[in-house]
Amino acid sequence: MISAQLEQLVPNFDERISPEDSDFQQSGLKLPSVIRSGRLAVAGKDILIGKLGEVDSLRLRRIKQIISRWIQAD
């Protein structure tokens, strides 16, 4: 989930993306936002109607690592 409510950021868990970031423009976001690693959802491809944007591979790798550590935590 992505939220423009920056106060929801969980330090060392969520990822903030801002206009100063190199991948902000390609993200398709209009406002500084928080990528909420703990707010996951599963959606079938048949309900998705398009792509708004993307983040760079380093940011995506960080997010995946955070989610992986969270899922594997005891």
Q: What confidence tens digit (pLDDT) does each residue in 4-57 have?
A: 999 999 999 999 999 999 999 999 999 999 999 999 888 888 998 888 899 999
Residue 12 backbone zone (phi > 0: left; psi -120 to 50: alpha; other: beta): left
- Model pTM? 0.84
65 membership: H or E segment, kind and range: helix 57-72
Which residue from 28, 20, 19, 27 is spatially nearest to 63, judged by alpha carbons? 27
Q: Any idea where the domains of the chain sit in the sequence?
A: 2-43+52-72
Torsion of CA 40, 71, 28, 55, to 10 degrees: -170
